[in-house]
Structure 1
Amino acid sequence: MNTLALQIKNAALELGYEKCGIIKMSDIYGYKEKLEERIERTPEAKGFFQSQYRFVNAQETFPWAKSIVICIRRYGKYDIPEHLKGVIAKYYLVDSRTDENSKDFQDSLKFEKYMRELGIRAETERKFGLTALRWAAMKAGLGMVRRNNFFYTENGSWLYLEAWLIDEELELIETPNLRPCSDKCNLCIKACPSASLSQPYTMSPIACVSCITTFTGRDMPNEKYREEVGDWVYGCDVCQDVCPMNIKRWSETEEFPNLAELSQKISLEKIIKMDYDFLENVMQPKFWYIPKQDVWKWKVNTINAMVNNYKEQYKESIYEACKDSHEKVREMAEWAISKLNI
């Protein structure tokens, strides 16, 4: 085993990563075939998937890169506020990618600094990455992609994946020892609220509740899957929650910085009352899949959740939203009043 590769791995483990592997840049090329296969299966999502080709051609953008260091950190250890379960997906509640208060974020910086102190050029992009993270982790033998499309280790799928492009030609491959999904198991497919997960390893982001509540869904009254979104306001956990391989994989033994305090300011009724300064300067930096100019979407998503599981207590909030400063929120509230006949 290459001494430098082993040094990198040991440093990652000391900093709290569960696993670390290294693959050659050429190992990413096979991702193109999988990407084209996904587009063939879900042609309606071709536009969405085309953006992923940047990962296939990463070496053209970074000609100096020779290898990819891929690391895995477990986040299925944090306390999740009970009242936000089924409303905001757990990953986003404890997302450390840009949270400077998080130990996970600080450890990521320390790991990157360590590699650079070894004389290695190491580059990453902490939001969406510079490579296909799940593919790289699979090629490094750190685990496997299961039928719901999520990457798993022995600790289930509640994982952060991080990768760095480096200018050293190294390789560090493990042999995964995981029991594969049963061919007879289709729990994730059956549970998917919008049938976005239509068959094993096949997901259409156009129908995905997580995508609708974040990246898309800008015309919610006319959204095809509006009812299927259910109670979700940001993200979705359903296909991971029902997976047998995730049973007892979440321990809730640690507090994520500032989450308990922030959670007290979040409920369906409180989101409707949020002023736009709070949405832009507190909510958006934490939940950054919705850009600043679209933070009105929090209120629209919330009204949709109120309609999908209506309670009399929501009536006042919906009427209050009719006076909101943003046209999209007023439009959604008026639609809800008509829909509910209240």
Structure 2
Amino acid sequence: MDYHELKEQVIAYSKEIGIDKIGFASADVFGELKARLKRQEALGYQSGFEKGDVDERTEPGRLLPGAQSIISIAMAYPSKMHDAPKSRKGDRRGLFCRASWGEDYHTVLRDRLNKLGAYLQELFPDVELKSMVDTGELSDRAVAERAGIGFSGKNCAIITPEFGSYVYLAELVTNIPFAPDEPVQEGCGDCNICVDACPTGALVQGGQLNAQRCIAFLTQTKDFLPDEFRSKIGNRLYGCDTCQTVCPINRKKDFHHHEEFEPDPEVVKPKLTPLLSISNRQFKEKFGSISGSWRGKKPIQRNVILALAHYRDETSISELIRLMNEDPRPVIRGTAAWGLGKIGTSDCFTAIKDAMINEKDEQVIYEMEKGLQFEKI
């Protein structure tokens, strides 16, 4: 087998099936990453969403015995939405981050990997493969960096020369000994804009993220949002783009190569108040095809309440009162009570006091008390 020729054939085929960039890396242990992950664990900076232990996440041979190389792919997604609806007083809207625009990228990239794998099997019947899209053990970013897709930026994203950091990543571990590509040598230099702009200080320093403080992580949690972050979330319903939008390299980077990633404005920038009464079935029908729906409607609805409180949207008061009194979920009842206090009309405070009489959950009562604190401000 001429592996050089095979590599060229794979590259050519990848372009035919809509992969924007492809790179090849060795399947050696990611030693530097292993040390960094152990530091992250010791510092408590992990999100908890990571799959596998540190060894599994840094040793490709544990995932595919006989692994020789890794194929890394990247697909660009848009940074701008055409005909985006306006968020107006009395008709406020929330926002899903750009990585959740269009069809769930896990589905799209998995399709490309499957096609790539099938193509390899035709050319090399003895091929062994393991594919991963974001939820696998390996770090997509570490693989992409080694494969020359881009460099690791201070915002902890892979930044490609062509598309900036607006790319989805995935990889195929294989037993084919493809020659590795050279890593990209560009870097952020002295630029520190993303670190300075991070709303919660989650970027501890360039290239180091405390996931526990990252808004992208926080919007996906299901419990009460810690107080210090409630004023930071704004109208974000899922994810956060700040460290990408402020990046000078991303300026004017906007690619609409793939119809699957084109956003439906009414889905990714939805009206807030109607989301508070949406059923599970309606939520699945409207949002089920986007990646931002994977945690279900509860965290989204909690974030909706925080966004309405952020706007001090008085048109939502009656709906928030209904939730505070009737919703079976303590996190939603309590957040609604806090949100009413933040909006801060006399009707809000009266409703909180009335609801406290019958409330039994201690956490909800605590949130009601915090909501009433706004009356003293």
Q: Provide TM-score, normalisation by structure 1.
A: 0.85
Equivalent in the alignment of 1:176: 184
Q: Shift of residue 95 of structure 1?
A: 5.0
Matches within 5 A, 1:78-117: 79=81, 82-83=84-85, 87-94=95-102, 96-99=104-107, 106-117=111-122
What SS does structure 1 have at the residue aligned with 2:236? coil
CA distance in 2, matches of 1:192, 1:125: 29
Mark the CA change 1:95 to 1:177 in structure 2 (over 3 Å): closer, same or farther.
Answer: farther
Q: AA paired with 1:228?
A: K
Equivalent in the alignment of 2:200: 194
CA distance in 2, matches of 1:218, 1:173: 44
Q: Shift of residue 305 of structure 1?
A: 1.3
2:148 matched to 1:141? yes
Mark the CA change 1:258 to 1:200 in structure 2 (over 3 Å): closer, same or farther.
Answer: closer
Q: Cα deviation per residue 1:40-99 (whole Å; 9 max; x = unaligned)?
A: 6xx132574795613113422321322111111111377466249972101112354344
Q: Shift of residue 209 of structure 1?
A: 0.3
Bigger shift: residues 279-288 or 242-251: 279-288
Q: Cα deviation per residue 1:226-284 (whole Å; 9 max; x = unaligned)?
A: 22222211100001001100000014576547842752893211211211222245434
2:338 matched to 1:335? yes
Equivalent in the alignment of 1:35: 37
RMSD of aligned Cα (Å)? 2.9
Check conservation: 1:134, 1:161, Cα contact below 8 A. Answer: yes
CA distance in 1, matches of 2:128, 2:237: 40
Q: Shift of residue 128 of structure 1?
A: 1.6
Mark the CA change 1:182 to 1:125 in structure 2 (over 3 Å): closer, same or farther.
Answer: closer
2:212 matched to 1:210? no
Matches within 5 A, 1:30-69: 30-39=32-41, 43-46=43-46, 48=48, 51=52, 53=54, 54-69=56-71
Matches within 5 A, 1:243-258: 243-252=247-256, 255-256=259-260
Check conservation: 1:79, 1:252, Cα contact below 8 A. Answer: no
Q: Shift of residue 223 of structure 1?
A: 4.2
Q: Shift of residue 194 of structure 1?
A: 0.6
Q: Determine what percentage of the aligned residue pairs are the same residue.
A: 21
Q: AA paired with 2:118?
A: K
Structure 1: runs of 5 or more not aligned: none
Equivalent in the alignment of 1:298: 300
Among residues 11, 14, 28, which one is paired with 1:12 in the alignment? Answer: 14
What SS does structure 1 have at the residue aligned with 2:9? helix
Equivalent in the alignment of 1:166: 174
Q: AA paired with 2:234?
A: G
Equivalent in the alignment of 1:315: 317
Q: AA paired with 1:114?
A: Y
CA distance in 1, matches of 2:47, 2:246: 29
CA distance in 1, matches of 2:255, 2:24: 29
Among residues 268, 271, 276, which one is paired with 1:272 in the alignment? Answer: 276
Among residues 219, 222, 241, which one is paired with 1:237 in the alignment? Answer: 241
CA distance in 2, matches of 1:58, 1:340: 52
Q: Provide TM-score, normalisation by structure 2.
A: 0.77
CA distance in 2, matches of 1:300, 1:14: 43
Equivalent in the alignment of 2:360: none
Q: Cα deviation per residue 1:177-204 (whole Å; 9 max; x = unaligned)?
A: 64x3231x22111211111012111110
Check conservation: 1:303, 1:336, Cα contact below 8 A. Answer: yes
Check conservation: 1:115, 1:122, Cα contact below 8 A. Answer: no
| Bigger radius of gyration among the two | 2
CA distance in 1, matches of 2:51, 2:75: 28
